[in-house]
Structure 1
Amino acid sequence: MVVLRALVGRVGAWVVLGLAVVASAALFVLVPSVESDAFPSAGLPAETQSAQVEALLEEFPDADVSAALLVFERGGEPLTDEDEAAVAARAEALAAESPTPQAVRPQLSEDRTAALVVVPVDGADVEADLAGTADHFRALAAEDLPEGLRSALTGPIGFSDDVSSAFAGADLRLLLVTVGVVAVLLIATYRSPLLWLVPLAVVGTADGLARVVVAPLAELAGLPVDASISGILSVLVFGAGTNYALLLVARYREELTRQSDRHAAMLTAVRSAGPAIAASGGTVALSLLTLLLASLQGNRALGLACALGVGIAMVFALLVLPAALVVCGRGLFWPFVPRVQAEGEERRAGAWERLGRGVARRPVLVAVAAVVGIAVLALGLGGYRVGLSQTEQLTGDPESVQAQRVLDRSFSAGLSGGVDVLVPSEEVPAATERVQAVEGVESVRPGTEHEDLTRLTVTTSAAPQSEQAFEVVRALRATLADDPALAGSLVGGSDATALDTLDAAEDDLRLVVPLILGVVALVLLVLLRSALAPVLLIASVLGTFFASLGAGTWLFTTVWDFPALDANVTLYAFLFLIALGVDYNIFLTSRAREERARLGAREGMITALGSTGGVITSAGVLLAAVFAVLGVLPVVALTQVGVIVCLGVLLDTLVVRTLLVPALAFLTRDAFWWPARRVTAPAPG
């Protein structure tokens, strides 16, 4: 208590601000920058077949070879003789850029509506300058083409460049849109031209510090942070940090109407709201840390990075923001400066308190209506499916996707995919025969050999990373495992990697979900000291999750025409909705527990809803808007996470926390707080 009083005191507040500025500036200057990957890597467990194949192929003679696939077409019309001559000329020019020019030959489709030139490329050159390599091949292929003949780049280089371009400038774009959204909503919430600047500056500094500190720490832990994780980190820090700021400012404003000394008012505000903010931030951080037990490296990196980010946001909300607010004084709230109410001055019931009394009068009706509404939204799960093909992972219509459609129509869809099979060298003929017999396999080509293993390059008829491609991979693994002589064979490549990633994501979901629920239950038990309340609160946020996932699935399949969810979307949506959804219940029920001690269970909940209703609704709308910002990136997975979390937060804020949880509390009365002793409400007057 002495320390807390000093931190918000007349001198202590200035000291805290000074130390925060100095420490932040030092970290910004001294912490070495770490360049994040342009796009997410698979990060599969080493024991998966695709990871083993990738590791073994690094030792093969042709390990460092990639491929550029150039497609030529004129909108489905047959190519002319002039077109074919131009394609031949372009193939000759492209061959000069390949380490194996003899392998570069134009291929015409059977219906002569398209031509394909496959250019083997040095992988080291691609890794050193992906964008430059892709642009060079695009320019070279498009040079001197007849009018109406178009070229497009696809394959490993084309898709990688389009994914990388999708994240190019993502951090700045997300930051600018997020700051704009937060600023507008803070101004609307506070109705002050000054007050919004302080929370925004504090949270913005926390976000900048998280960006600087998190990447090097994750790198030290062997968990590099890619662009997608950086985007989610920024959204989470801004969303959670602003939520904590809204709660603290609301309680501070309330105390300023009771106390003339702003330092004493802030002391009371931090003592009252601080435990709820700490419990909320702790719940989110601990839930995120459960991802460290996941098998996918990307999930572990997200968990570590975002847990550190939330921790930084929580520290700034509990230490720096109170100091900044008291230093600025009451005038910061202008033109609605809170004044101390005279003793005996009548307090008017607000809209949220009136709503609470309405719920208290008909708790059964309210609870049933809310549950039915949630159940209706959850019906959208009937269309739930996981797994996007390579062409379905980006929004818009990038060049590589357009070219892939031409391949699907005129050539083999699997030409731009990748299935590599490693078999014992002495069993190549038998392995080739078995592989060729698998349904969906179009061709098998024996390749290079290394340490008694031979690489078979398999072309399938399935689109890359589609369910049909996964069926081919499963069938290949099964048929090779059936032969004792080929039991040690391995099936890898990009299609197998996508399948193993999907399977690993499902394993992570089954592992992490119970852990997150356990963390949330433990925090609620400690904070509320009740056995029944945590059960009801967890049930309510689970209902929110299924409803938002169902509503999101319906929107994706009927409005946006996304055929399925990306592999990690369900896990990320569950994590954020459960952890952040419990936040608002923590804010409400911790205040209800505080008020119950003097007013009783019923009046305590009504007063808590009246006191926190406005700020929690503002916080929920703001958090939903911030997560919706993820949709500015042309990446389907991030759009899906943003939409589902946005829907879930709005549902939790406007229905579950506002109506369902109070109704359940009114129905269960003092049993809601069991085993805490019963509190008798004071007599009126």
Structure 2
Amino acid sequence: MPWVLLGLWVAVLALAGPFAGKLGDVQRDRAVDYLPANADSTQVAKIQERLPGGETTELVLVYHRDGGLTAADRGTAADQVAALDARTKLVDTPQGVPSQDGSTLMYPVASTGPGTDEELRDTFVNDVRDVIKAPDGAAGDGLSVEVGGSGALATDASEVYTSLDGPLLYTTVAVVAVLLILIYRSPLLWLVPLVVAGVANFLSMGVAYGLNQAFGTTVSGQSSGIMTILVFGAGTDYALLIVSRYREELRRVERPYDAMVAALRGCGPAVVASSGTVAAGLFCLLAADLNSSRGMGPLGAVGVLCALVAMLTLLPALLVVLGRRVFWPLVPAFGSEAKKRKSLFQSMGSSAGRRPRTVLAAGAVLLAALALGAFALPGNLKQEDSFTSKPDSIAAMETLAAAYPERGTQPISVIAPTDRADKALADARAVPGVDGAERGRSSGQWTEISVVAKGAPQSAAETATLERLRDRLDPQGAYVGGPSAEQLDLKDTNRRDMRVVVPIVLAAVLLILVVLLRALVAPLLLLLAVVAVWGASLGIAGLVFGPVFGFEGTDPGLGLLSFCFLVALGVDYGIFLMHRMREECLAGAETGPAALTALRTTGGVIASAGLVLAATFAVLTNMPLVQLVELGFVIAVGVLLDTFLVRTYLVTSASLALGRKVWWPGPLSKAPALPPAPEADAPELVRAP
């Protein structure tokens, strides 16, 4: 049987190989791939793609010299812009706009050449940078020339996402490998789960490509990176549980095959239930209106399910084929007993058992106090604050913000029906806060209008202008978009998605837990615990994001994504613990001793799994995008809190305090029937003399 499974996996990989290699070809990181599905800004981006020439790429060339630009500087700028106009397809002849202090000159430029192709857009941006940074165009020391605007920001972000795949995968593999070596203390055993996780990741890439081709599932750099993290993190967790149970069975069962069958019968339901919970929680993201969140759900679920299939089939087959020697030098001999030594988790269980209510109350107060830190989270993340380093586009925006505080430097795009374009243009010019508006490209149905606000990009003044524009132009059937409008829609849509998706996730996870544990109180206890962990994790983030990391804002999607991941992944460990506790209760143990036995037997495995999962998500904190750093930090902290505080102390203490009530209304909540009393008229036995 093991060899048959290995043969099947070879065939599966041969089939998945061609598709896995194409996943990068369908990865898209355009604004429309992240924007809300039904928002104004999304409609603008889609319609712009269909206008003559395709979607517009807008840039701003920024010339700056401290102390003021010289005549030679302005001449250099004019020459470079003329050379750019001759080399590339620009919408209009650019006109320079000097700052009031004379230190800066900006040239808004736009091209319709790139259309919807990211590679062509990036080529245009890089061509512009080549022209203005050419050696023969230098004007001497002190003149800085930068390329900003939405097109440059998109190109820089795309380059970051494209560069994530390799470093993210290698770093994740290295972190998991080191942790497995430390956990297993074996020169060979650590390699088996790691290889299986790599195979699962390869399979998930093929399946993700198939979903994209069959259903149009959005594949972005963010979602594919999270999928890799989940495959290695969750997959290694399942491997740790299976290997630990297999080691136990090898001491009781002689043949490795029979020991593996017994191990899978014992822990298989918990592994299947935990992975099903994670997958169900992530699939709930399909209810989100935000494209990036909705696309991440299926890809994350695919990663978890591929990891599950690999760990339940390929991992057991490899372990059985390799036999007991895979555990060398700590080989579990048949008939041997594991060393009896008091573990850390036995000590923790004993301390919780002495005063369970006190421990439970203290832990609840601690989590509530930590959650208060969420009020200190910085405001919404702006585009210029979304990189951990400072690319050229961000430097340009900072220069513009300082030199032009009195006006907008980033146009607002309005798309109006062509037969009402003149009315829309007049209304736009009459909106308070608008500095100017010009008619742009037109097709038979739609006309583009470029609006410049008086307020700086993503400032309160510009936001108010955007809202007034939408109110004024809505009767004309016009859409208001552009980079600032996109950020506004992201914030509003994330707020809507929180209200819709969170209840769905809670209901789905609760239903799975009720079916698995045959109770209502225990599932509610686990759900309450993971929600408390989520709140505490955001609170810790609020205490460190600004003061320690120096982040100027919080990604609008952080709350929803961290909630889905922490609830789904956190319940994993609760399932491992509660499932073992239920086994002990079914075998006749009281709830208190069963809880302590479950903690003693699974505590080490849960701790190892938590460390691995936290470490894999912590890999994201080394990435160059603030939103990935924030997401990785919150999930890693949440997993550690769940592993070492909530799962070990609080859930165990609550189980001890509730006793059999934790299984209400299931059969385990009822006291066992007392043995029948002896009959009153039974004859008394008389001892013989």
TM-score of the superposed pair, with normalisation by structure 1: 0.91
Matches of residues 414-453 of structure 1 in structure 2 within 5 Å? 415-423=408-416, 431-432=424-425, 434-451=427-444
1:274 aligns with 2:263: no
Which of 577-586 and 295-304 deviates more?
Answer: 295-304
Corresponding position of 1:508: 497
2:252 to 236, 243, 258: 258
Gap runs ≥5 in structure 2? 675-689
Matches of residues 340-489 of structure 1 in structure 2 within 5 Å? 340-341=334-335, 347-384=340-377, 387-411=380-404, 415-423=408-416, 431-432=424-425, 434-451=427-444, 454-481=447-474, 486-489=475-478
1:439–1:554 CA distance, 2 compared to 1 (3 A):
farther
1:560 to 542, 549, 569: 549
Amino acid paired to 2:363: A
CA contact (8 A) 1:91 1:105 kept: no
CA distance in 2, matches of 1:210, 1:460: 46
Amino acid paired to 2:158: S
CA contact (8 A) 1:237 1:313 kept: yes
CA distance in 2, matches of 1:83, 1:418: 25
Corresponding position of 2:189: 195
Q: Secondary structure at the match of 1:442?
A: strand
CA distance in 2, matches of 1:197, 1:346: 25
1:140 to 109, 131, 135: 131
1:576: Cα distance to partner?
0.5
CA contact (8 A) 2:32 2:45 kept: no
Write the deviation string for residues 12-68 of structure 1: whole angstroms up to 9, x where unpaired. 112212221232233214667241335253345664333333344445446544233
CA distance in 2, matches of 1:192, 1:436: 72
1:640 aligns with 2:633: no
1:441–1:292 CA distance, 2 compared to 1 (3 A):
same
1:101–1:564 CA distance, 2 compared to 1 (3 A):
closer
Which of 60-69 and 498-507 deviates more?
Answer: 60-69
CA distance in 2, matches of 1:575, 1:46: 20
Amino acid paired to 1:573: S
1:72 aligns with 2:59: no
Corresponding position of 1:546: 535
Write the deviation string for residues 95-116 of structure 1: whole angstroms up to 9, x where unpaired. 2124358612333222111122
Amino acid paired to 2:125: A
Q: Secondary structure at the match of 1:96?
A: helix
Matches of residues 304-319 of structure 1 in structure 2 within 5 Å? 304-319=298-313
CA distance in 2, matches of 1:413, 1:164: 31
Q: Secondary structure at the match of 1:402?
A: helix
1:167: Cα distance to partner?
1.4
Matches of residues 603-618 of structure 1 in structure 2 within 5 Å? 603-618=593-608
Amino acid paired to 2:11: V
Which of 34-43 and 175-184 deviates more?
Answer: 34-43
CA contact (8 A) 2:617 2:636 kept: yes
Corresponding position of 1:215: 209
Which of 87-96 and 325-334 deviates more?
Answer: 87-96
CA contact (8 A) 1:185 1:622 kept: yes
1:428: Cα distance to partner?
6.1
CA RMSD of aligned residues (A): 2.5
CA distance in 1, matches of 2:91, 2:468: 35
CA distance in 1, matches of 2:53, 2:4: 62
1:223–1:430 CA distance, 2 compared to 1 (3 A):
same
1:73: Cα distance to partner?
1.5
CA distance in 1, matches of 2:220, 2:527: 32
CA contact (8 A) 2:20 2:209 kept: no
CA contact (8 A) 1:219 1:225 kept: no
CA contact (8 A) 2:121 2:155 kept: yes
Q: Secondary structure at the match of 1:286?
A: helix
Corresponding position of 2:105: 115
1:322–1:365 CA distance, 2 compared to 1 (3 A):
same
Amino acid paired to 2:175: V
1:416: Cα distance to partner?
4.7
Corresponding position of 1:5: none
CA distance in 1, matches of 2:555, 2:214: 28
Amino acid paired to 1:239: G
Corresponding position of 1:93: 83
CA distance in 2, matches of 1:385, 1:574: 18
CA distance in 1, matches of 2:446, 2:126: 36
CA contact (8 A) 2:176 2:612 kept: yes
Corresponding position of 2:286: 292
Amino acid paired to 2:276: G
Amino acid paired to 2:346: E
Corresponding position of 1:582: 571
CA distance in 2, matches of 1:209, 1:451: 46
2:42 to 28, 40, 51: 51
Q: Secondary structure at the match of 1:79?
A: coil
Q: Secondary structure at the match of 1:70?
A: strand
CA contact (8 A) 1:296 1:505 kept: yes
1:607–1:102 CA distance, 2 compared to 1 (3 A):
closer
CA distance in 1, matches of 2:283, 2:460: 32
Q: Secondary structure at the match of 1:338?
A: coil
Matches of residues 155-234 of structure 1 in structure 2 within 5 Å? 155-234=149-228
CA distance in 2, matches of 1:131, 1:480: 32
CA distance in 1, matches of 2:119, 2:225: 24
Corresponding position of 2:639: 649
Which of 607-616 and 212-221 deviates more?
Answer: 212-221
CA contact (8 A) 1:425 1:453 kept: yes
CA distance in 2, matches of 1:31, 1:81: 56
Gap runs ≥5 in structure 1? 1-11
Corresponding position of 1:8: none
1:86: Cα distance to partner?
1.8
Which of 660-669 and 65-74 deviates more?
Answer: 65-74
CA contact (8 A) 1:199 1:242 kept: yes
CA contact (8 A) 1:154 1:416 kept: no
CA contact (8 A) 2:437 2:452 kept: yes
1:243 aligns with 2:237: yes
Aligned length: 665
1:450: Cα distance to partner?
4.3
1:218: Cα distance to partner?
2.5
1:671 to 658, 661, 664: 661
CA contact (8 A) 2:370 2:540 kept: yes
Write the deviation string for residues 374-401 of structure 1: whole angstroms up to 9, x where unpaired. 1111011112455322212222111101
CA distance in 2, matches of 1:475, 1:449: 24
Q: Secondary structure at the match of 1:557?
A: coil
Corresponding position of 2:27: 37
1:441–1:113 CA distance, 2 compared to 1 (3 A):
same
Q: Secondary structure at the match of 2:60?
A: strand
Corresponding position of 1:573: 562
1:289: Cα distance to partner?
1.3
CA contact (8 A) 2:188 2:327 kept: yes
1:490–1:101 CA distance, 2 compared to 1 (3 A):
closer
CA distance in 2, matches of 1:186, 1:283: 25
1:205: Cα distance to partner?
0.7
1:294–1:448 CA distance, 2 compared to 1 (3 A):
same
Percent identity, aligned pairs only? 38
CA contact (8 A) 1:42 1:501 kept: no
CA distance in 1, matches of 2:673, 2:538: 41
CA contact (8 A) 2:414 2:480 kept: yes
CA contact (8 A) 1:42 1:497 kept: no
CA contact (8 A) 2:53 2:112 kept: no
CA distance in 2, matches of 1:637, 1:681: 57
1:87: Cα distance to partner?
1.8
1:324 to 291, 298, 318: 318
Q: Secondary structure at the match of 2:546?
A: helix
TM-score of the superposed pair, with normalisation by structure 2: 0.91
CA contact (8 A) 2:417 2:476 kept: no
CA distance in 1, matches of 2:391, 2:301: 34
CA contact (8 A) 1:218 1:305 kept: no
Write the deviation string for residues 153-203 of structure 1: whole angstroms up to 9, x where unpaired. 111221111101111221111000000000000001111111101010111
CA distance in 2, matches of 1:371, 1:500: 36
CA distance in 1, matches of 2:58, 2:580: 61
Corresponding position of 2:120: 129
